[in-house]
Amino acid sequence: MNVVVSSRLASALLCGIAASGVCHAKIIALDVDIVLDQISSEEKMLHIGQHHEARVFYDDTRIDPVTHRVALLHEQHTPALIPKHLNPAQMPMSNAWLDLSGPDIRYHYAAAPTVAIPFAYFVLFDDKTMRMTIRRQSDGLVLLAGPYKVNPNPITGPDIDAVVASSDPAVPPWETTLKMPPMPPGAPPK
């Protein structure tokens, strides 16, 4: 087990057995690098070998001491930091975790975001093969795929905490595009 993972696990274990019973969460972010080795001809702006980057967030007090897994709170596409805050429609996290038990951090994420950009898609980060795949929902066409690596160097601080401290406005699952809220009556147009 590497030193970074060991220190995170030790922190979680100490929080779990703290005499006071009080433990303050420390939000950790880790960068994920994906090297694209499959790209659909429909993806005109991308090329083989290009790096696609993401950042994942978790609470270090929630690392399971037996499995060394931790549920993820959020994922952002970097460097644009999209979505900026928690957003279950754009980045659903109910099926996402990190496995910190080995020398390589394994990332599992399986989702079908309801906000279609530009169309509905499936995303899979496979913790067994250590590959990311994005497929179009309508026909299963692979849009992007490639191996990923999670950087074990933790990123912390107020900017990281702020990402998971608030949420983007909720979007119903039947909405497939983001809409601006209506203007209050009598308000001047912007």
State pLDDT tens for residues 35-52: 999 999 988 889 999 999
Q: Does residue 179 lie within any of the structural domains?
A: no
Express each pLDDT in 102-142 by its tens digit: 999 999 999 887 666 677 889 999 999 999 999 998 899 99
Q: Does residue 170 lie within any of the structural domains?
A: no
Q: Does residue 176 lie within any of the structural domains?
A: no
**Mean pLDDT lowest for which of 7-16, 65-74, 175-184?**
7-16
Q: Does residue 185 lie within any of the structural domains?
A: no
Q: Does residue 150 lie within any of the structural domains?
A: yes
Confidence (pLDDT) at 2: 46
Q: How many domains does the chain have?
A: 1
Q: Does residue 180 lie within any of the structural domains?
A: no
Residue 98 structural domain: 3-165
Total-model pTM:
0.76
Q: In b/e form, how buried is each residue of 11-44, taking b as 16+ CB within 10 angstroms? A: bbeebeeeeeeeeeebbbbbbbebebeebeeeee
Confidence (pLDDT) at 127: 96
For 26, the token pair is: 């420390």
Q: Does residue 100 lie within any of the structural domains?
A: yes
Q: Does residue 58 lie within any of the structural domains?
A: yes
The whole-chain average pLDDT of the chain stands at 79
**Mean pLDDT lowest for which of 6-20, 110-124, 144-158?**
6-20
Instruction: Provide the sign of the torsion angle of the four alpha carbons 139, 143, 144, 145, taken in this order.
Output: positive
